[in-house]
């Protein structure tokens, strides 16, 4: 795509015209996402994370908004969704499948074999911090960026002869989110307020349009603000010492599951202005530099224990951070972040539009020569995994750790029939093996809850998980047979973790992984059934896909056979490397050899099911 002469000259100078005739701040260079206007909607904000805490930074002029997350703030409380009626219904469901009465099999499974409750718990939000600035006016220049090399978000603008700057980051070293504000040749003031967790409106889950259509350029509202009126029931807040403010509350109830978590969010404000605390928030006046230190925590200890003290934790973290200068906090943050990020670089060359703002580059990417955008996208993916999955945190969920409301699409859970695995596919090749540790730990916890599910619902040894799980490591099938009656979620996690071990060859990982492989294999040794073509799973589904006979419920779909075949191979290899369980490994070898083979259909395709139904499937 060709630039106009004016655009080319502006790009060469690192300047581009702003909306509404504004002059521009210098364009960030290198590995940055950058924009010439503030975020009007949540999806336009810049994500920060330290693996546990997340923030979306909007960069608005009249009101900065930080939307906050903490990775253990989910709905509900420890619960066991295993359905005790499933075991008795299992033989009849299998018989109906064998007889080709798939709709009846699905109806019986729906009535007797699904989890209670039928839905799992949802990931939530810690709410919003809103900073309302005194005397805000339309800026004469503006730019905001997310610097991927340092994991720092910056907003710079000029107004009324004053240069304003903000820097924000989520520190893994100090476990706080830091927002630092400065003014050159002037002073500023603001009121800080809190808006608690709330439901919000999300982009429709079934949206089929272009991403750029959601972001069609409209006149920029430079003085956009939002009210701080929505507060989750049961949330309280108030001053908590000099320059400090504390909010506390409870999580949401889940489906047929009471709320069981307490949360706390604390802000500590330091700076050279006049800082006052009240029950409604914190006021700052006459400042040229201010630092906000933000901590969040819940009472979650593990999937069975919610006895933690979040208030003590956030007080300790913010007060410890306040004893350090801003630059020391920033150096520690960058050093810890770059320990992971700096190991991989990707250079694809710069194209014609590489100097443009990121949203412009995305909008024209199909017509423009911009290989550097692909390299930026690659590094952004690495940034997001580092920011949402660190040793000791929860794994990255459907939205990483960033979620605006208490009603996210699909609960923002762990969808382990592909999405969770996809989050981690790039980790090892992209130099982020350390970031896989939360996934391994989740699988270890699922093996505990999944052992109960295997025994209660299938009468089997080992452990099983289906197509989703949550903070509480629920393992029973949810939502309905069309989606949930798929027993290979745990097995696919095991295969993903085997690939992680195979990449690193870390002996400690293999020691932790082998019990998971063994337990998952024992489940299938006990539950595979004989078919004329070999051993198959039953009941199961080809994930979230209906076949031509009024259901998705079936026996032995190709995906299951492939996952179980790999699981058995990985278990046998791991056991022999560790010199364990020779008799069991021999049984696994024998079962693997008897699995129903893949088949080629009449169209030359790899059949999705045991029968050649592909062409007739809806």
Tokens describing residue 605? 């395709």
For the segment 458-497, what is each residue's pLDDT rounded down to a tens digit?
Answer: 999 999 999 999 999 999 999 999 999 999 999 999 999 9
Q: For residues 466 and 536, state if they share a domain.
A: yes
Domain boundary among the residues 293, 309, 333 is at: 333
Residue 239: band (very low, low, confident or very high) from pLDDT cuts 50, 70, 90 = very high
What is the rounded radius of gyration, in angstroms, for the C-alpha atoms of the chain?
27
How confident is the model at residue 204, as a pLDDT? 73
Domain boundary among the residues 314, 333, 352 is at: 333
The Cα 178–Cα 161 span in angstroms is 26
The Cα 258–Cα 252 span in angstroms is 8
* DSSP-derived 3-state class of residue 519: helix
How confident is the model at residue 107, as a pLDDT? 98
In angstroms, the Cα distances linking 564 to 219, 496, 594 are: 55, 13, 11
Q: For residues 176 and 250, state if they share a domain.
A: yes
Q: How far is CA 141 from the centre of its chain?
A: 34
In a domain, 9, yes or no: no
Residue 17: band (very low, low, confident or very high) from pLDDT cuts 50, 70, 90 = very low
Torsion of CA 597, 568, 398, 235, to 10 degrees: 140
Q: For residues 127 and 104, state if they share a domain.
A: no
CATH code for the domain of 94: 1.50.10.10
Residue bearing tokens 């100097």: 355
In a domain, 369, yes or no: no
In a domain, 241, yes or no: yes
Q: For residues 440 and 461, state if they share a domain.
A: yes
In a domain, 134, yes or no: yes
CATH code for the domain of 192: 2.70.98.50
Sequence-separated (6 or more) residues with CB below 8 Å from residue 269: 192, 243, 244, 245, 275, 282, 284, 290, 291, 292, 293
DSSP state, 89?
H
In a domain, 386, yes or no: no
The Cα 377–Cα 31 span in angstroms is 10
Residue 22 has pLDDT above 80, yes or no: no
Q: For residues 174 and 303, state if they share a domain.
A: yes
In a domain, 602, yes or no: yes
Q: For residues 436 and 570, state if they share a domain.
A: yes
In a domain, 238, yes or no: yes
| Ramachandran area for residue 296 (φ above 0: left; ψ -120 to 50: alpha; else beta) | beta
The stretch 76-103 carries a mean pLDDT of 98
Please give the tally of structural domains in the chain.
Answer: 2
Sequence-separated (6 or more) residues with CB below 8 Å from residue 251: 73, 74, 75, 76, 124, 259, 260, 261, 262, 263, 298
Q: For residues 314 and 191, state if they share a domain.
A: yes
The Cα 518–Cα 580 span in angstroms is 10
Q: For residues 457 and 521, state if they share a domain.
A: yes
Sequence-separated (6 or more) residues with CB below 8 Å from residue 325: none
Residue 3: band (very low, low, confident or very high) from pLDDT cuts 50, 70, 90 = very low
In angstroms, the Cα distances linking 211 to 10, 44, 139, 203 are: 27, 12, 28, 11
Cross-strand bridge partners of residue 397: 400
In a domain, 535, yes or no: yes
Domain boundary among the residues 333, 357, 385 is at: 333
Burial degree of 280 (CB within 10 A; 0-12, 13-18, 19+): middle
For the segment 171-206, what is each residue's pLDDT rounded down to a tens digit?
Answer: 999 999 999 999 999 999 999 999 999 999 887 766
Residue 24: band (very low, low, confident or very high) from pLDDT cuts 50, 70, 90 = very low
For the segment 283-300, what is each residue's pLDDT rounded down to a tens digit?
Answer: 999 999 999 999 999 999
Three-state SS string over 438-482 comes to: HHHHHHHHHHHHHHHHHHHHHCCCCCCCCCEECCCCCCCCCCCHH
Cross-strand bridge partners of residue 179: 168, 292
Q: For residues 245 and 148, state if they share a domain.
A: yes
Q: For residues 589 and 450, state if they share a domain.
A: yes
Q: For residues 108 and 127, state if they share a domain.
A: no
Q: Which domain holds residue 547?
A: 86-115+413-616
How confident is the model at residue 234, as a pLDDT? 79
Q: For residues 102 and 127, state if they share a domain.
A: no
* DSSP-derived 3-state class of residue 263: strand
């Amino acid at each position: 795509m060709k630039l106009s002469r004016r655009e080319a000259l502006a790009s060469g100078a690192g300047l581009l015209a702003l909306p509404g005739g504004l002059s521009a701040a210098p364009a960030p260079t290198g590995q940055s996402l950058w924009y010439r206007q503030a975020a009007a909607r949540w999806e336009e904000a810049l994500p920060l994370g330290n693996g546990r805490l997340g923030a979306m930074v909007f960069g608005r002029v009249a009101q900065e908004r930080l939307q906050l997350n903490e990775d253990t703030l989910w709905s509900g409380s420890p619960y066991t969704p295993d359905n005790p009626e499933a075991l008795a219904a299992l033989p009849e469901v299998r018989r109906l499948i064998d007889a080709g009465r798939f709709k009846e099999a699905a109806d019986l499974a729906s009535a007797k074999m699904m989890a209670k409750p039928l839905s799992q718990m949802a990931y939530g939000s810690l709410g919003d911090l809103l900073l309302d600035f005194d005397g805000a006016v339309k800026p004469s220049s503006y730019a905001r960026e997310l610097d991927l090399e340092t994991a720092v978000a910056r907003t710079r603008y000029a107004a009324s002869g004053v240069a304003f700057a903000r820097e924000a980051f989520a520190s893994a070293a100090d476990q706080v989110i830091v927002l630092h504000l400065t003014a050159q040749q002037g002073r500023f003031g603001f009121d800080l307020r809190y808006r608690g967790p709330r439901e919000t409106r999300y982009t429709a889950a079934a949206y089929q349009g272009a991403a750029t259509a959601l972001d069609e350029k409209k006149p920029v509202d430079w003085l956009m603000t939002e009210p701080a009126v929505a507060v989750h029931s049961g949330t309280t807040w108030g001053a908590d010492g000099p320059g400090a403010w504390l909010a506390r509350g409870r999580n949401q109830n889940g489906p047929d599951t009471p709320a069981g978590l307490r949360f706390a969010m604390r802000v500590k404000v330091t700076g050279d202005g006049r800082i006052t605390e009240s029950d409604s928030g914190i006021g700052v006046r006459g400042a040229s530099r201010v630092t906000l230190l933000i901590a969040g925590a819940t009472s979650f200890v593990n999937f069975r224990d919610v006895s933690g003290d979040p208030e003590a934790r956030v007080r300790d973290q913010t007060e410890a951070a306040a004893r350090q200068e801003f630059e020391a906090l920033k150096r520690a943050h960058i050093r810890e972040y770059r320990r992971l990020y700096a190991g991989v670089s990707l250079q694809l060359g710069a194209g014609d539009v590489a100097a443009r703002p990121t949203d412009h580059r995305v909008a024209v990417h199909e017509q423009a020569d911009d290989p550097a955008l692909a390299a930026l996208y690659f590094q952004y993916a690495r940034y997001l995994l580092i920011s949402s999955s660190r040793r000791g945190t929860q794994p990255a969920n459907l939205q990483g750790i960033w979620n605006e409301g208490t009603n996210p699409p699909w609960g923002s859970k762990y969808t382990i029939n592909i999405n969770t695995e996809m989050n981690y596919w790039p980790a090892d090749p992209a130099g982020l093996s350390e970031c896989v540790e939360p996934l391994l730990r989740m699988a270890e916890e699922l093996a505990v809850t999944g052992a109960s599910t295997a025994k209660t619902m299938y009468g089997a040894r080992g452990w099983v998980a289906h197509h989703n799980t949550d903070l509480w490591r629920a393992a029973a099938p949810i939502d309905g047979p069309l989606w949930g009656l798929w027993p290979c979620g745990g097995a696919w996690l095991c295969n993903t973790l085997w690939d992680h071990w195979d990449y690193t060859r870390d002996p400690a990982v293999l020691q932790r992984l082998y019990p998971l492989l063994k337990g998952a294999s024992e489940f299938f040794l006990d539950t595979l059934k004989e078919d004329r073509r070999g051993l198959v799973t039953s009941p199961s589904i080809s994930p979230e896909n209906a076949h031509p006979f009024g259901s998705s419920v079936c026996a032995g779909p190709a995906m299951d056979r492939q996952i179980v075949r790999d699981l058995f191979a990985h278990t046998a290899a791991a056991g022999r490397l560790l010199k364990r369980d020779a008799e069991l490994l021999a049984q696994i070898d024998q079962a693997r050899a008897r699995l129903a083979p893949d088949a080629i259909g009449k169209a030359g395709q790899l059949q999705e099911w045991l029968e050649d139904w592909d062409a007739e499937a809806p």
